[in-house]
């Protein structure tokens, strides 16, 4: 084979491998948001359905969780710092936490969940 054919073959193989690696290493999206209150799971919200959940705390206080367009967000909360609201909509990855209310939103079906079991 000539040098040009070897170069073309090498470039074609490199392009296929690059495309394959991008496809295999793409981040997985979560399938559902699990809502935990004080260590107890209180709801599982599929990210494929737009929905809203109002979590009212036993001692007073609330968090309004909204699922829209595959993202979950704490849209409103009466906690003093509002960090959970400021986080905005997320599709997966690190949990959303409202520490004053002991509320945690985790994600199932993403890459971390499948590795951790």
Could you state, in order of their start, the residue ranges of all structural domains in the chain? 32-116
Q: Are 98 and 74 in contact (CB under 8 A)?
A: yes
Long-range contacts of 90-93 (CB under 8 A, 24+ apart): 91/29, 91/30, 91/47, 92/27, 92/28, 92/29, 92/30, 93/30
Of 36-40, 41-45, 48-52, 111-115, where does mean pLDDT reach its minimum? 111-115
**Is the pLDDT at 13 greater than 90, yes or no?**
no
Mean pLDDT rounded to a whole number for the chain: 85
Q: How far, in Å, CA of 5 to CA of 92, rounded?
A: 45
Report whether CATH 2.60.320.10 matches the domain 32-116. Answer: yes
Q: How far, in Å, CA of 3 to CA of 33, rounded?
A: 54
Cβ neighbours around 1 below 10 Å, total: 7
């Amino acid at each position: 084979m000539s040098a040009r054919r070897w170069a073309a073959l090498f470039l074609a193989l490199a392009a296929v491998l690059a495309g394959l690696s991008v496809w295999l290493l793409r981040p997985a999206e979560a399938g559902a948001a699990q809502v935990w209150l004080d260590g107890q799971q209180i709801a599982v919200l599929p990210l494929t359905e737009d929905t809203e959940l109002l979590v009212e705390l036993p001692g007073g206080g609330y968090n309004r969780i909204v699922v829209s367009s595959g993202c979950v967000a704490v849209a409103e909360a009466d906690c003093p710092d509002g960090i959970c609201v400021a986080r905005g909509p997320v599709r997966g990855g690190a949990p959303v936490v409202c520490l004053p209310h002991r509320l945690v939103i985790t994600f199932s079906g993403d890459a971390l969940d499948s590795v951790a079991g």
